[in-house]
Amino acid sequence: MRKTSNRVFWVLACAAFGLAGAASPIASRDAEWQKTVEAAKKEGQVAIYTNSSQTTLLVNSGAFQKRFPEIKLIVAFGNTYPRILSERRAEKYLADVAFTGIRTLWDLHLARVLDPVSDAIVLPEAADESKWFQRRHEYVDQERKYVFVATANPNAGYFYYNTKLVKPEGFKSLWDFVRPELKGKMAVRDVRTPGPGGDAIRFFYHVPELGTKFIRSFFGGSGLTFFRDQRQGVDWLATGKYPICAFCNSTMIETAKLQELPVEYLGPMKEGAWISAGGGGVTLLNRAPHPNAAKVFINWLLSREGQLTLQSMEGGAANSRRMDIPKDMIPARLRLEDGVNYLNVDTWDRISDEPILKVINAALAEVEKGKSQ
C-alpha cells in the first residue's frame, strides 16, 4: 500500500512539475515584458524612422502614447534609408525603430545596421505565432530574424478598366492583356520608378506560366503609354482616353469609384494572386539609443491592439497578418483567405526587381529600335 502511495505521489509530483515547466516560458516572457516596460519608462522616449503613410496615421492616432504616456514617441519622416546611413557615417545613432516599406527595410538589412527584431518580441500575445496568418510570423530575410512583415495585402493584377468601354468577362488570364486588339489601348504606370506595380512585375517574373516571356510580350508588344503622375493615370482611365490602366494607384481608384466614375478592378486572373506588405514592415536598429523603448513600441505594434489600430488606418488598406482581429473594415478583395495559393513577393529571393527591370528595359529598347528602322 505504501509503495502504491509513493508511486502516486511521484506521478502527481512529476505532473505538477511538467505543468509548471510548460507554463514557465509564458511566465518568463511576461516577466521580461514587465521588466522591459519599466526600463523603457526610464529611457523616456523612442525614435521611429519612416516614410510610410501608415506610420503617419498610426502616430496621429495617439494610441501608443495613450497606452504608454511615459514614453514619448518621436517620429522622423522622410527618406529613411539614406538618412540612417548618413547619420551613421557621422557617428550618430539616433534611430531606434524603422517602420516603413519592405524595400527600405531590406536595404537596411543589406547595409548591416539591424539587430534581430525576433529577439525583441517578448510580449506573450505578440510572440504567439498561432494568432498570425498561416500560424507563423513572417520575415523577409532568409534568417527569419531582421525584417518583420506585419501586413499582407492580396492582389491579383493591378489592372483596372473603364466600365463603359471594356467587358471584364473577356479577361480570364494575364495573357489576355497582350492580345493584338489591345495594342495602344493601355496606360501603364512607369514601374521603372518607385510606386504601384513593383510587386506585380515580381509576381509576373516568378510565376512559371508567365515569366520573362510574358514581360517581354507585355512591355514590348502592347503599344503602352506610360505615366508617372498617378492622378493622370486614373484621369485617363475615368475619361476613357485609355480603357485599361495597369498599375494605377488603387487608393485613387477607390476614391474615383466613390465619385461614381466608371472605373473598376479587373481580376482575378487564372494565374493566381500574390501578397505584399506595402508599408507594414518593422525592424530594430542596432546601437539603438533607447533599446527598451524600441522593444515596447515593436511589441505594442505587433499586439492585438497595435495591429487593429494599424489596420484601421487608410480605410482598411493595411491588412494585418494577425487573424484574431476583425476584418470587416478591410475591402473584400484585400482579405487573406486560408486555402488560397498566394505567392509572397516580399521574400529574400523575390524582393529584387533588378533582373526584371533588365527584361523590361530590353523589351522597350527593341520597341525603340523598331521605330527607328
Residue 336 — pLDDT band, cuts 50, 70, 90? confident
**Strand (E) or helix (H) holding 356:** helix 354-372
Count the residues in the chain.
373
Burial classification of residue 42, based on how many CB atoms lie within 10 Å of its CB (0-12 exposed, 13-18 middle, 19 or more buried): exposed
pLDDT tops 50 at residue 234: yes
Lowest mean pLDDT among 30-39, 151-160, 183-192: 151-160
pLDDT on residue 26: 62
| Angle at the Cα of 125 from the Cα atoms of 288 and 303, rounded to 5 degrees | 60
Residue 312 — pLDDT band, cuts 50, 70, 90? confident
- CA–chain centroid gap for 43, Å, is 30
Q: What's the average model confidence in pLDDT over 275-300?
A: 94
Lowest mean pLDDT among 14-23, 91-100, 212-221, 346-355: 14-23
Pairing of strands 159-162, 263-265: antiparallel
pLDDT on residue 339: 67
pLDDT on residue 49: 95
Helix (H, G, I), strand (E, B) or coil at 358: helix
**Strand (E) or helix (H) holding 353:** none
- What is the Cα–Cα distance from 147 to 109, expressed in whole angstroms? 7
**pLDDT, tens digit (0-9, with 9 covering 90-100), for 111-150:** 999 999 999 999 999 999 999 998 999 999 999 999 999 9
Rg (CA), the chain: 25
Neighbours of 119 (CB within 10 A): 10
pLDDT tops 70 at residue 23: no
Phi, psi of 43 (to 5 degrees): -70, -35
**Cβ contact 310:151 at 8 Å:** yes
Residue whose entry in the numeric block shows the C-alpha cell 530594430 = 284
Helix (H, G, I), strand (E, B) or coil at 207: coil
**Cβ contact 56:50 at 8 Å:** yes
Instruction: Give 25-153+277-336's CATH code, choosing from 3.40.50.300, 3.30.43.10, 3.40.190.10, 1.25.40.10.
Output: 3.40.190.10
| Angle at the Cα of 318 from the Cα atoms of 113 and 194, rounded to 5 degrees | 60
Residue whose entry in the numeric block shows the C-alpha cell 467587358 = 167
| Alpha carbons within 13 A on the beta-carbon side of 323 | 14
Whether the domain at 25-153+277-336 and the domain at 157-271+352-372 fall into the same CATH topology? yes
Beta bridge partners of 138: 149
- What is the Cα–Cα distance from 344 to 202, expressed in whole angstroms? 10
**pLDDT, tens digit (0-9, with 9 covering 90-100), for 82-119:** 999 999 999 999 999 999 989 899 999 999 999 999 99
What fold is seen in the domain 157-271+352-372? D-Maltodextrin-Binding Protein; domain 2 (3.40.190)
- Terminal C-alpha separation, the chain: 103
- Whole-number mean pLDDT of the chain? 88
Residues in contact with 184: Cβ distance below 8 Å, sequence separation at least 6, in sequence order: 222, 223, 225
* Higher-pLDDT residue of 72, 56: 72
Residue 39 — pLDDT band, cuts 50, 70, 90? very high
Domains of the chain by residue range: 25-153+277-336, 157-271+352-372
**pLDDT, tens digit (0-9, with 9 covering 90-100), for 187-232:** 999 999 888 888 899 999 999 999 999 999 999 987 899 999 999 9
Q: What's the average model confidence in pLDDT over 37-46?
A: 97
